[in-house]
Structure 1
Amino acid sequence: MRHKPGTEWETTYARCVSAAPEAFDPDGLLNHWGAAWRPDGFALPSVSPVDGSAIAGPPRIDRDTATAAVRAAADRHADWRHVPLADRKARVGAALDALNEHRDLLAMLLVWEIGKPWRLARADVDRCIDGVRWYVAEIDGMLAGRAPLAGPVSNIASWNYPMSVLMHAMLVQVLAGNAAIAKAPTDGGVACLTLAVALAARHGLPLTLVSGSGAELSPVLVGAPEIACVSFVGGRTVGSRLVATDKRLVLEQEGLNCWGVWEYSQWDRLAGEVRKSFDYGKQRCTAYPRYVVQRSLFDEFLAAYLPAVRSVAFGNPLAVARPDDPLPRLDFGPLINATKAKELSDIVDETIERGGVPLYRGSLTDGRAPDKHFVDGQDTSAYLAPVAILGPPPSSPLHHAEPFGPVDTIVLVDTEAELLAAMNASNGALVASLACDDEEYAGRLASQVQAFKVGVNRPRSRGDREETFGGKGASWRGAFVGGSLLVHAVTEGPAGERLPGNFPDYSLYP
């Protein structure tokens, strides 16, 4: 096994230098603010989760530079908010054409930086492009009676979906008449975002991209008086620190998304969903890491579940046996870094030591099977094979929080009340599902599950285009998004408007 020729990091980075020389120095990445690419910042050493090799790291700036960047973004916002909508649509459309032209290069950067398998990396890029094109077509009606915010929108997002979440949001914010600022995720995705912003900035879009530590930059990117709205995607610990601000907020936070199994018999159907649930190693906010199963069905559930989890393909997303082989079709590659893989592995071991029952523990040596892929001798420290644990004890983090990795936990229940209590263990979630033969009965149960979207015999996801998205309980704070709500979240409407969302003084669900 070897990396497919032409996919090497050196080759990929050279393509970036050729495509956007203004943003990619041969020696490292630049920050973009004040309508210019700037060689400020200090890049810390960075490695790819794919094989532990060196890649370009984020050029971290200090607080003073971030302050100057925010002020420059506010100046651009003051001009951009008066640009006619037709002009904004034309410029965003041209930017999307440029992104589409470099689609495969953007996807290859996602493979190297965050370990996404090729098909998922391309899907992330495509969802950004296709999703924003939909907004370009629909934006006129969404902006009727509305105006841009008083200042820029500041985006702080996790590393797992740089294109379909972060870049998508920024382009819609710009389309709606705002300047958009993004802090590049520290853990990965900065090169992909740098290329995307470079391609879009050529068309005059008021985008700012800076890198730095959250502790250093957050007081500015959240608290600066010029900022009108803060859009955050990440964990509850960090998100909870942002709630105190008086700015417009869009805070997407995690929850333990559960799949309940009650009075059910369609096991082949569920087995297919189990395999698909391991896409990207469950490193996404709408992953399903918890199954709540009726005890009397556990034997049948296990008969369907175990073959499905054993079929999951993981490994190096660039490894091929022959140069002309296509890139492997994997469910997931590495976790975001070796530290996360070690942390989650330790939690698994601790959970089992405290009484959790290991139903399945994969091995990295499985990666040499025909449907798994590793390069001989490569660093595999960022990889973790699938794990399933029955009955995580209350003392384990896996009992109440999502693992953000390829680890499933299974809880057995005997009554409907126990089912609902187990599915609501994390005080709110983004999505949930119920597997139940009686769909009408399942619909009644769904109304008592504390998740924004609840599927019956199917998974739910973040959604695209007109589909709204939010969370219940502690999984979301501020305005909901998706469809017209995303535009409304970053614009001013009529006096006294109550946006759908979870706010300190009310919750309003669309």
Structure 2
Amino acid sequence: MKEAFTLTHLTKHLWINGQWKETKAYYELHAPYDQKLIAKVAKATPSHVKEAMDGAHTAASIMRAMPAFERAGILAKVALLLQDRREELAKLCATEAGKPIRAARAEIDRTVTTYQFAAEEAKRIYGETIPMDAAPGGSNRLGMTWREPLGIVVAITPFNFPFNLVAHKLGPAFAAGNTVVLKPANQTPLSALAIAELFHEAGLPAGALQVLTGSGRELSDELLRDERVRKVTFTGSPEVGKAIKAKAGLRKVTLELGSNSALIVEPDTNIPNLIERCVEGAFSYAGQVCISLQRIYVHEQVYEAFCELFITQTAKLRVGNPLEEQTDISAMIHADELERIEAWVQEAVAQGARIGYGGQRDGSTWEPTVLLNVTPDMNVSCKETFAPVVSIVKYRDLDEAIALTNNSAFGLNIGIYTNNIDRAFYAARALEAGAVIINDIPTFRLDHMPYGGVKDSGYGREGVKYAVEEMTELKFVSIRLNT
């Protein structure tokens, strides 16, 4: 089983009904950093989607009948297998996603935690009793609720956290007793296929997890057309998310669609103590994180000091090969993304922004870039950069900072640093976001906290417990007593 993870096995098939499924067409998968050929990966067709759906439908009755302790045991076993194979899976992640190896190890560790949380949640899917006699006509009746699995869940995942974001789909789905048809990102299929093998080894019934690789554009309509699909959970762009929601009809949908996350820095904060954390939030994984720190609003009293320290810390970052231990920033996922961010930075400079640091492309990487004098209408501010580019903007008072922060189509995570608890909670109530992180960067996330946004940042919530709720249906049962 371990041998299948090695990059010497260059042909990867579909995973359907607990077996490898060969296809007629395969595409070449190249490493983002050096364009080395990693694998040839199967391209699914509509007929494969139909086969996967049939298998998932059959397995749904098995998963629905499976006791909670067995579902929990499978999830816990996957967590243990991940721990055992941490280093090889981290290297796999670093290679196919271009993620620095230290960050890849951290992702595997988080993925272990996510599946552990899912195992725990499988055993505490509670209902409640309803006081029926609280209403006239309810005397001599009992009322209760419980949660039931939905059935087939379609999960569509992005490249940037190929293990942990998959875990946030699979873990809650299996904890609740569902089956999953998974479509991973084109650039990171190997991690999804590796996880499929781990679930197979852990005892997941055949058909409960199907992995279809290939073009999302070619498969998305087929995935959504099947009426047996009861929920779609998607992480990706707002454009695709809106299209999915329009096609989903009455089925449940969870959409995590990105952001241009902001941080407010109040003048009462100890600036030197937060610089390293802010740099980490802006440039981790080359900024290719939905809650990457993109906009920093700094009070005019501490603006100059903040900028100087931030740029000094940024200059210490090392750009290079993701498999080298000292690398902080590596390749962007695709050449098209490099061209896009280069155009946006050049456009911002032409419109009056100033480069405080960086701003250069080097092969497959983009230098960590600090922009000053940025205005809200520039693409680097009002859109999602998804790149190692951050803007630092001066403000006069907290209300102005809140207004600047809210002047966005997005609202995922927002951070504020302040030592004044009243101002912290004033901001928390006024900021338009799914989460407000006080005295830390908006990039902060733990895998059991509710996670999701407002506005164009999405719909619904992840975080294992909350995802389980969204992957179940609430049923009410009433009994009339003969007393």
- Bin for the TM-score computed over the shorter chain: 0.7 to 0.9
Is 1:36 aligned with 2:36? no
Partners in 2 of 1:97 and 1:340 — Cα distance? 36
Structure 1 residues 143 and 19: CA distance shift in structure 2, 3 A: farther
Q: Report Cα offsets for 1:436-475 as digits up to 9, x if no partner.
A: 3423213212211111221222124463354221212221
Q: Is the 8 A contact 1:146 1:491 kept in 2?
A: no
Counterparts of 1:363-402 in structure 2, within 5 Å, are 381-393=363-375, 396-402=378-384
Is 1:95 aligned with 2:92? no
Q: Letter of the aligned partner of 1:476 in structure 2?
A: G
Counterparts of 1:244-255 in structure 2, within 5 Å, are 244=246, 245=248, 246-255=250-259
Structure 1 residues 226 and 355: CA distance shift in structure 2, 3 A: same
Is 1:194 aligned with 2:172? no
- Structure 2 counterpart of 1:224: 226
SS in 2 for 1:231: strand
Partners in 2 of 1:115 and 1:95 — Cα distance? 24
Residue of 296, 309, 327 corresponding to 1:291? 296
Q: Letter of the aligned partner of 1:249 in structure 2?
A: V
Is 1:263 aligned with 2:292? no
Q: Letter of the aligned partner of 2:220 in structure 1?
A: S
C-alpha displacement of 1:362: 5.5
- Structure 2 counterpart of 1:126: 109
Structure 1 residues 461 and 291: CA distance shift in structure 2, 3 A: closer
C-alpha displacement of 1:301: 2.0
Partners in 2 of 1:483 and 1:95 — Cα distance? 16
- Structure 2 counterpart of 1:428: 410
SS in 1 for 2:123: helix
Partners in 2 of 1:409 and 1:243 — Cα distance? 32
C-alpha displacement of 1:265: 4.3
Q: Which runs of 5+ in 1 are unaligned?
A: 1-14, 319-326, 365-379, 497-510
Q: Report Cα offsets for 1:105-138 as digits up to 9, x if no partner.
A: 1111111101111111111112111221233134
- Structure 1 counterpart of 2:438: 456
Is 1:272 aligned with 2:253? no
Partners in 1 of 2:8 and 2:310 — Cα distance? 49
- Structure 1 counterpart of 2:429: 447
SS in 2 for 1:45: strand
Is 1:185 aligned with 2:190? no
Q: Is the 8 A contact 1:339 1:382 kept in 2?
A: no
Q: Is the 8 A contact 2:288 2:386 kept in 1?
A: yes
Partners in 2 of 1:421 and 1:201 — Cα distance? 50
Which range moves more in the overlay, 280-289 or 49-58?
49-58
Q: Letter of the aligned partner of 2:193 in structure 1?
A: T
Is 1:330 aligned with 2:327? yes
Q: Report Cα offsets for 1:4-63 as digits up to 9, x if no partner.
A: xxxxxxxxxxx96x2469xx9944101011232101252222211121211114321122
Counterparts of 1:40-51 in structure 2, within 5 Å, are 40=23, 42-51=25-34
- Structure 1 counterpart of 2:87: 104
Percent identity between matched residues is 22
- Structure 1 counterpart of 2:160: 160
Q: Is the 8 A contact 2:97 2:160 kept in 1?
A: yes
Q: Is the 8 A contact 2:152 2:230 kept in 1?
A: yes
Q: Is the 8 A contact 1:232 1:239 kept in 2?
A: yes
- Structure 2 counterpart of 1:237: 239
SS in 1 for 2:365: coil
Partners in 2 of 1:129 and 1:389 — Cα distance? 37
SS in 2 for 1:335: coil
Partners in 2 of 1:463 and 1:303 — Cα distance? 27
SS in 1 for 2:211: strand
TM-score by length of 1: 0.83
Residue of 212, 223, 234 corresponding to 1:210? 212
Q: Is the 8 A contact 2:72 2:175 kept in 1?
A: yes
Partners in 2 of 1:339 and 1:92 — Cα distance? 37
Q: Is the 8 A contact 2:115 2:167 kept in 1?
A: no
Partners in 1 of 2:357 and 2:447 — Cα distance? 38
Q: Report Cα offsets for 1:201-228 as digits up to 9, x if no partner.
A: 2323411100122221111222320111
C-alpha displacement of 1:394: 5.2
C-alpha displacement of 1:66: 1.4
SS in 2 for 1:243: helix
Partners in 1 of 2:314 and 2:444 — Cα distance? 23
SS in 2 for 1:242: helix
Which range moves more in the overlay, 32-41 or 90-99?
90-99
Partners in 2 of 1:93 and 1:483 — Cα distance? 14
Q: Report Cα offsets for 1:330-371 as digits up to 9, x if no partner.
A: 32211112221222112211221222211212556xxxxxxx
Partners in 1 of 2:115 and 2:163 — Cα distance? 11
SS in 1 for 2:229: coil
Which range moves more in the overlay, 175-184 or 268-277?
268-277
Equivalent pairs counted in the alignment come to 454
Q: Letter of the aligned partner of 1:433 in structure 2?
A: G
Q: Letter of the aligned partner of 2:467 in structure 1?
A: L
Partners in 2 of 1:130 and 1:389 — Cα distance? 36
SS in 1 for 2:122: helix
Partners in 2 of 1:359 and 1:150 — Cα distance? 51
Q: Is the 8 A contact 1:232 1:250 kept in 2?
A: yes
